[in-house]
Chain A
């Protein structure tokens, strides 16, 4: 605004008219802007209240009740759901265990593959776009039931994996391996973080690499000293997004394991168990309490990542 006024003397007559017109216009259109603005965002705003805010508040209330969909009277039971969850429900802890293992392995592995392949594809060679499409393909179909069905069969006892590698492993029957079939499926779909890494790699100024070659740095040093630090904002972004997403994994675990977390609840991911409590047992109060624990876990983890980011994420223009 200040700039506009200061430049008035040197501006052309047309500009001057335009500027004066705008000041008058702003005064009388401020309230009008409010109306128009709210009209435009109203679809989201209404949806936000109806389908996010009110349901979230409702699920917080439900978390302290024994509400079920079977027609029994609703009672406030205080912290009983949480007490039961944390101290009595053994299956709950099995599902927490499975989920933490899943996220702990799937996210870093997926990001490692994504970065590795992105570096391979960060070249001007001919045909690279074909490879990019090939590597991204698993991600575009990965959320589908079709791929889950396929994955279940290729890891079956007489499936492709055993046949190709001459193994005789019962991937889904053996508690040692069952979760790993889900983790490999997650890692296989590294396409989206890969594309984001690829865009990030292209942003790194070439001069940095040229200067370091003159100084005699080898490929490993260049990766550790230039690529990795320059990519930290993107690594951070991917890490946050992937962590949030992988905590919510449902469809594949549901289809592949038949929805009951077998064997021995090793694949009973949190959303799967929550689904069972809500829609198999109809314990809506208990399931709501579970959903709030999930929400808080994700919130705390995200906060921890954000706080830690001050130590390891470098933004351009940082002089540290």
Chain B
């Protein structure tokens, strides 16, 4: 009998320890989960409000879920401002964010290869200068750039938004340089012996291996361009050239705005591309920030 009672005792101890661990885990998940939910709550609230009737949004502010799911806010909101629909705004945003991202990332990759794999006179100096420009406030470049673009008659064209992007971006150049430095040089050397040129090495050997770095740079470049307000706001002043971010701001002007359901609908919709990319490429995002300390 006593032989049975001893394992029974240890069993209860083990169980209570497991219970303890379970309790600890539960506490952790409740605590971290609730804070996480609180973090997301404003966004969830806005998305929920976009399905509510405009009057319902403010009469029962605390309620998260709408009484009835309404899509009218989206159709009403899409009509836009002064006869210009969001179709136009999205088209403009996709021109800026699409071309801008492609230009910026492609140029950054090419420049990064030069800095990472070719030895040329003055490389160190230029690289240091490039890193120094990371700390420059945009405001110090903005005014002369505007004056010149204005003189060229390029206000209300996409040139001032897209041309500077053909030079790449220091953040992405630095990130891709770091990535290339991690690629072993054996393949380069072998290709060099086989008579491959530097540009051949870049396109045939380095570029295919750069995929993760390029994806990360593309995502961030797209995010920042999609969200960019200042540049299109200054240069694209004609309403039919407004991007989504600029249009949203006029759309939601407190002095004239009344249809809050439609405003929240269009705001939520503008975040959709960002969320879709986030869901599918989360890994690249997290690694990109963690390894290079990207801003955001």
Contacts and interface: CB of A to CB of B under 8 A. Distances in A.
Interface string A167-186: 00000000000000000000
Contacts of A43: 107, 110-111, 166-168
Nearest to B202: A40
Contact of A149 (B135, B230, B246, B248): B248
Contact-residue size bin, chain B (C-beta under 8 Å from the other chain): 35 or more
Given A59-B144, A137-B39, A158 B166 contact: no
Nearest to A256: B254
Interface string B252-271: 10100000100110111011
A294 B135 CA distance: 11
B274 A140 contact: yes
A305 to B, nearest CB: 11
B87 interface: no
Nearest to B145: A55
Contacts of B138: 248
Contacts of A36: 114, 118, 120, 197-199
A25 B119 CA distance: 13
A145 to B, nearest CB: 4
A2 B121 CA distance: 22
A41 interface: yes
Contact-residue size bin, chain A (C-beta under 8 Å from the other chain): 35 or more
B140 A59 contact: yes
A38 B114 CA distance: 7
A169 B254 CA distance: 18
A51 B248 contact: no
A34 interface: yes
A54 to B, nearest CB: 7
A195 B220 CA distance: 15
A137 B42 CA distance: 11
B260 A44 contact: no
Contact of A145 (B142, B249, B295): B249
A248 B137 contact: yes
Given A149-B267, A291-B142, A295-B137, A199 B39 contact: no
A60 B268 CA distance: 42
A18 B120 contact: no
Contacts of B58: 158
A96 interface: no
B284 to A, nearest CB: 12
A46 interface: yes
B193 A150 contact: no
Contacts of B36: 130-131, 134-135
A48 B296 contact: no
B129 interface: yes
A47 interface: yes
A271 interface: yes
A88 interface: no
Contacts of B249: 145, 149, 254-255
A21 interface: yes
Contacts of A132: 286
Most A CB within 10 A of own CB, among B173, B268, B286: B286
Interface stretch (A77-85, A119-127, A207-215, A309-317): A119-127
Interface of A: 18, 21-22, 25, 33-34, 36-41, 43-48, 50-52, 54-56, 58-59, 62, 69, 117, 120-121, 123, 125, 127, 129-141, 143-147, 149-154, 158-160, 162-164, 188, 191-192, 195-196, 198-199, 237-238, 241, 244-245, 247-248, 250-251, 254-255, 258, 271, 274-275, 278-279, 284, 287-288, 290-292, 294-295, 298-299, 302
24 contacts: A34-B120, A36-B198, A40-B111, A47-B166, A47-B167, A48-B129, A54-B144, A59-B143, A125-B28, A130-B36, A131-B36, A132-B286, A135-B35, A135-B39, A138-B43, A143-B223, A144-B226, A145-B252, A150-B267, A154-B42, A192-B289, A250-B230, A271-B139, A291-B142
Interface of B: 25, 28-29, 31-33, 35-37, 39-40, 42-43, 45-46, 58, 61-62, 107, 110-111, 113-115, 118-121, 123, 126, 129-130, 133, 135-148, 150, 164, 166-168, 170, 173, 189, 192-193, 197-199, 202, 223-224, 226-227, 229-230, 234, 245-246, 248-249, 252, 254, 260, 263-264, 266-268, 270-271, 274-275, 278, 282, 285-286, 289-291, 293-296
Task: State the 3 A-B residue pairs at the shortest beta-carbon distance, nearest first.
Answer: A47-B167, A40-B114, A37-B120
Given A40-B110, A198-B290, 15 more contacts: A33-B119, A44-B170, A47-B107, A50-B164, A55-B148, A139-B296, A141-B271, A146-B270, A150-B267, A163-B62, A188-B42, A192-B289, A250-B229, A291-B137, A295-B137
